[in-house]
Amino acid sequence: MESMSYNLDVAPINYSYIFEFESEFIHQNSRKWMKENWTVAFYYVGVYMAFIFGGQYYMQNRPRFELRRTLIVWNSALAAFSIMGACRTLPEFLHVLLNYGIYHSICVPSFIEHDKVSGFWTWMFVLSKLPELGDTVFIVLRKKPLIFLHWYHHITVLLYTWFSFTEFTSSARWFVVMNYCVHSVMYTYYALVSMGKYPPKMFAMTITVLQLTQMIVGFFVNIWAHNFMTTAPRHSCGISEINIKLSMAMYFSYFILFAQFFYKAYLSPKPGKKERKDKPEPPVVGQTKSLDYIVNGNLRQRNGVVH
């Protein structure tokens, strides 16, 4: 899907400060690179899966690694990155939503084609899905439980975001901002836990609720996109039918898995286990058991992806 011409004169919003690396962002170059290389992601996924099963087999009869300090740095870095990404993409999202409306926010990829700041951080968001696979390295080396949701989420988000960038999928404006915001809270929580500081259990539950909300909103964004595509002039909405179908399937599956996780972690009875008030069970999508043992292998679980 090539760049389309929209009868909308969209000017980027004014930022208080624009970094040099943001002002030098050229969206055509990043799209060209991704079009030529996005399928390489399948090789990364292959290596990732080989590491998961090969690593677990290798560690089976070996002592676990602690990696506490490394884990603190890792989670803190991802938290800082997510907070920065949210701060740089949220203003454009709100500007477009309030001044141009739902249709523009879903169907016009001006956040990449017209806004260098949002465009750069969207590009960083897409690329970040590769190093985020490192969450699993901590789980395997620390010999923590690795649930299906963790690696399924990592794989599908990587493949979907890389593919979507080749199309400059316009509805990604919503997905990028939501994911940055949720990850800001989630990785901050992981960083605190890895430091030995345990926020109240309600904080962990809130993260999972935010993740579930992200899935619900993402699902409705796709429904709106489909409706716009069927009612608006042909090729006037910057998203493909196949992209909508893939996104709907992903968000629906994520919602089911996260809801199941939420029930098991916070609602289902745990016979024979005393609730540990000092170390509450956390949320999910990168790290797990509650949020803690899914992702970096702490007591953690992570994300909300997405998405």
Q: Which residue has the tokens 């975001």?
A: 161
First to last CA, the chain: 21
233-234-235 Cα angle (round to 5): 115
Give the DSSP per-residue string, 74-89: HHHHHHHHHHHHHHHH
Give the active site residue among 27, 95, 153, 154: 153
Q: Helix/strand/coil (H, E, C) string of 122-133?
A: HHHHHHHCCHHH
Give Cα separations from 187 to 2, 52, 193, 220, 284 (angstroms). Answer: 35, 22, 10, 26, 11
Given this model, what pLDDT does residue 11 score?
A: 61
User: Tens digit of pLDDT for each residue in 129-182?
Assistant: 999 999 999 999 999 999 999 999 999 999 999 999 999 999 999 999 999 999
Amino acid present at 166: T
pLDDT at 7 over 80: no
Residues 120, 112: Cα–Cα separation, whole Å: 8
Q: The tokens 């005393």 sit on which residue? A: 274
Judge whether 226 counts as a catalytic residue. no
**What pLDDT digit, counting tens, does each position of 62-84 carry?**
999 999 999 999 999 999 999 99
CA 52 – CA 58 distance, rounded (Å): 10
CA distance 31 to 173: 16
Q: In the predicted model, is pLDDT for residue 4 greater than 90?
A: no
Contact 139, 146 (CB under 8 A): yes
Summary mean pLDDT of the chain: 87
Res. 107: pLDDT tops 80: yes
What pLDDT band is residue 236 in, cutting at 50, 70 and 90? confident
pLDDT at 272: 59
pLDDT given for residue 177 in this prediction: 98
